[in-house]
Structure 1
Amino acid sequence: MKAGSAKDQQETKQYKVIPILFAMLLSGFIGLFSETALNVAMTPLMDILQVGPTTIQWLTTGYLLVMGILVPVSGMLLQWFTTRQLFTTSLLFSIAGTLVAAMAPSFELLMVARVLQAAGTALLLPLLFNTILVIFPIEKRGSAMGFIGLVIMFAPASGPTISGLILANLSWHWIFWTSLPFFIISLICGLMFLPNISNLTKPKIDILSIVLSTLGFGGIVYGFSSVGGHGEGGGGWSSPIVIATLVIGGLALLLFTIRQLRMEQPMMNLRAFRYPMFTIGLILIFICMMMILSSMLILPMYLQQGMALSALTAGLVLLPGSLLNGFLSPVMGRLFDKFGPRWLVITGIVIVSVILFVYTGISPTTHYGLITAMHLFMMVGISMIMMPAQTNGLNQLPFEFYPHGTAIMNTLQQVAGAIGTALAVSILSAGQTNYLNGVTNPESAENQLGAFTAGVQNAFTFALILALIGVVCSLFIKRVKVDKPVGEQGPMH
Structure 2
Amino acid sequence: MRVAITKRFSADEAAEGRTPTVVRLLVLATFVVILNETIMINAIPRLMESMDVTEQAAQWVSTAFMLTMATVIPVTGWFLQRVTTRRAYAVAMSTFLLGTVISAVAPTFAVLLAGRIVQAAGTAVMMPLLMTTLMAVVPAEHLGKVMGHVTLAMSTAPALGPTVSGVILQAGSWRLLFVVVLPIAALVAVFGLRKLENVGEPQVSSIDWASVGVATLGFGGLVYGLSLIGEHDRRSTGIGIAVAGLVAIGLFAFRQLRLQRTGTPLMDLRTLRYGAFTRSLAVMSVGFLAMMGSMILLPLYLQNVRGLSPLETGLLVMPGGLAMGLLGPTVGKAFDRFGSRGLVVPGSAGIAVALFGYTQISTTTPYGLILVLHVILMASLAATFTPVFTLGMGALPPHLYSYGSSILGTLQQVAAAFGTALVVTVMSSRATSLVDDGMAPIPAQVSGMKLAFGVAAALAVVMIALAATLPRRVETPPADEAAESTPEADAEPASGERVTA
Whether the TM-score (by the shorter chain) exceeds 0.5 is: yes
CA distance in 1 between counterparts of 2:192 and 2:39 reads 24
Query: Residue in 2 aligned with 1:389?
Result: 388
Kindly indicate whether the alpha-carbon contact (under 8 Å) linking 2:95 and 2:118 is maintained by their aligned counterparts in 1.
yes
Kindly indicate whether the alpha-carbon contact (under 8 Å) linking 2:276 and 2:475 is maintained by their aligned counterparts in 1.
no
Query: Residue in 1 aligned with 2:362?
Result: 363
Q: Which of 29, 50, 53 lines up with 2:52 in the alignment?
A: 50
**1:418 has 2:417 as partner:** yes
> How far 1:170 moved relative to its partner?
2.7
> How far 1:166 moved relative to its partner?
1.5
Query: Residue in 1 aligned with 2:490?
Result: none
Kindly indicate whether the alpha-carbon contact (under 8 Å) linking 1:54 and 1:228 is maintained by their aligned counterparts in 2.
no
Q: Secondary structure at the match of 2:428?
A: helix
Query: Residue in 1 aligned with 2:290?
Result: 291
CA distance in 2 between counterparts of 1:139 and 1:96 reads 39
Q: Secondary structure at the match of 2:198?
A: coil
Quick one: structure 1 residues 106 and 463, their matched pair in 2 at CA, closer, same or farther if it must change by over 3 Å?
farther
Q: Secondary structure at the match of 2:465?
A: helix
Query: Residue in 1 aligned with 2:250?
Result: 254
**1:309 has 2:308 as partner:** yes
Kindly indicate whether the alpha-carbon contact (under 8 Å) linking 1:27 and 1:182 is maintained by their aligned counterparts in 2.
no
> How far 1:57 moved relative to its partner?
2.2
CA distance in 2 between counterparts of 1:367 and 1:295 reads 18
Kindly indicate whether the alpha-carbon contact (under 8 Å) linking 1:36 and 1:297 is maintained by their aligned counterparts in 2.
no
Query: Residue in 2 aligned with 1:454?
Result: 447
Query: Residue in 1 aligned with 2:167?
Result: 165
Q: Which of 101, 116, 122 lines up with 2:103 in the alignment?
A: 101
Summarize deviations over 1:144-169 as a string: whole Å, max 9, x none. Answer: 22211111111011111111122223
- Structural mapping, 1:334-483, within 5 Å: 334-439=333-438, 447-480=440-473, 482=475
Runs of 5+ unmatched residues, structure 2: 480-492
Kindly indicate whether the alpha-carbon contact (under 8 Å) linking 1:79 and 1:198 is maintained by their aligned counterparts in 2.
no
Which shows bigger deviation, 106-115 or 349-358?
106-115
Kindly indicate whether the alpha-carbon contact (under 8 Å) linking 1:43 and 1:301 is maintained by their aligned counterparts in 2.
no
> How far 1:402 moved relative to its partner?
2.2
Quick one: structure 1 residues 140 and 335, their matched pair in 2 at CA, closer, same or farther if it must change by over 3 Å?
closer
Q: Secondary structure at the match of 2:233?
A: coil
Q: Which of 118, 131, 149 lines up with 1:129 in the alignment?
A: 131
Kindly indicate whether the alpha-carbon contact (under 8 Å) linking 1:286 and 1:413 is maintained by their aligned counterparts in 2.
yes
Query: Residue in 2 aligned with 1:489?
Result: 495
> How far 1:202 moved relative to its partner?
2.0
Query: Residue in 2 aligned with 1:444?
Result: none
CA distance in 2 between counterparts of 1:439 and 1:396 reads 55
> How far 1:248 moved relative to its partner?
2.1
CA distance in 2 between counterparts of 1:140 and 1:352 reads 26
Residue identity in the other structure for 1:142: G
Query: Residue in 2 aligned with 1:325?
Result: 324
> How far 1:9 moved relative to its partner?
7.6
Query: Residue in 1 aligned with 2:484?
Result: none
> How far 1:143 moved relative to its partner?
2.5
Q: Which of 53, 70, 73 lines up with 1:71 in the alignment?
A: 73
CA distance in 1 between counterparts of 2:497 and 2:393 reads 9
**1:27 has 2:29 as partner:** yes
Kindly indicate whether the alpha-carbon contact (under 8 Å) linking 1:100 and 1:110 is maintained by their aligned counterparts in 2.
yes
Which shows bigger deviation, 472-481 or 34-43?
472-481
CA distance in 2 between counterparts of 1:110 and 1:201 reads 36
> How far 1:282 moved relative to its partner?
0.8
> How far 1:47 moved relative to its partner?
3.3
Tell me how many residue pairs correspond in the alignment: 476
Q: Which of 150, 153, 158 lines up with 1:151 in the alignment?
A: 153
Quick one: structure 1 residues 54 and 452, their matched pair in 2 at CA, closer, same or farther if it must change by over 3 Å?
farther
> How far 1:242 moved relative to its partner?
2.5
Kindly indicate whether the alpha-carbon contact (under 8 Å) linking 1:71 and 1:411 is maintained by their aligned counterparts in 2.
yes
> How far 1:14 moved relative to its partner?
12
> How far 1:10 moved relative to its partner?
9.3
Counting aligned pairs with the same residue, the percent is 36
Q: Secondary structure at the match of 2:361?
A: coil
Quick one: structure 1 residues 8 and 111, their matched pair in 2 at CA, closer, same or farther if it must change by over 3 Å?
closer
Kindly indicate whether the alpha-carbon contact (under 8 Å) linking 1:217 and 1:415 is maintained by their aligned counterparts in 2.
yes
Residue identity in the other structure for 1:315: G
Q: Secondary structure at the match of 1:51?
A: coil
Kindly indicate whether the alpha-carbon contact (under 8 Å) linking 2:429 and 2:448 is maintained by their aligned counterparts in 1.
yes
Residue identity in the other structure for 1:458: L
Which shows bigger deviation, 286-295 or 424-433?
424-433
Residue identity in the other structure for 1:489: S
Which shows bigger deviation, 325-334 or 430-439?
430-439
Kindly indicate whether the alpha-carbon contact (under 8 Å) linking 1:94 and 1:116 is maintained by their aligned counterparts in 2.
yes
> How far 1:138 moved relative to its partner?
4.1
Query: Residue in 1 aligned with 2:210?
Result: 208
CA distance in 2 between counterparts of 1:221 and 1:80 reads 28
Q: Secondary structure at the match of 1:235?
A: helix
CA distance in 1 between counterparts of 2:6 and 2:89 reads 23
> How far 1:228 moved relative to its partner?
2.5
Residue identity in the other structure for 2:159: A
Quick one: structure 1 residues 9 and 366, their matched pair in 2 at CA, closer, same or farther if it must change by over 3 Å?
closer
CA distance in 2 between counterparts of 1:483 and 1:273 reads 15
Query: Residue in 1 aligned with 2:489?
Result: none
Summarize deviations over 1:29-50 as a string: whole Å, max 9, x none. Answer: 1111111111122233333333
CA distance in 1 between counterparts of 2:372 and 2:114 reads 37
Quick one: structure 1 residues 166 and 414, their matched pair in 2 at CA, closer, same or farther if it must change by over 3 Å?
same
Summarize deviations over 1:103-128 as a string: whole Å, max 9, x none. Answer: 33443222122111101100111111
- If the length of structure 1 is used for normalisation, what is the TM-score? 0.90
> How far 1:335 moved relative to its partner?
1.0
CA distance in 1 between counterparts of 2:296 and 2:169 reads 16
Quick one: structure 1 residues 173 and 9, their matched pair in 2 at CA, closer, same or farther if it must change by over 3 Å?
closer
Kindly indicate whether the alpha-carbon contact (under 8 Å) linking 1:74 and 1:123 is maintained by their aligned counterparts in 2.
yes
Residue identity in the other structure for 1:151: A
CA distance in 1 between counterparts of 2:395 and 2:49 reads 50
CA distance in 1 between counterparts of 2:362 and 2:101 reads 39
- Relative contact order, CA 8 A, sep 6+: which one is greater? 2
CA distance in 2 between counterparts of 1:53 and 1:409 reads 31
> How far 1:481 moved relative to its partner?
5.4
Summarize deviations over 1:188-241 as a string: whole Å, max 9, x none. Answer: 112212233342222121112212211111111111111123xxx8212xx2x3
CA distance in 1 between counterparts of 2:101 and 2:421 reads 27
Summarize deviations over 1:324-370 as a string: whole Å, max 9, x none. Answer: 10011111111111121122111111111111111112222111111
Residue identity in the other structure for 1:389: V
Which shows bigger deviation, 18-27 or 197-206?
18-27
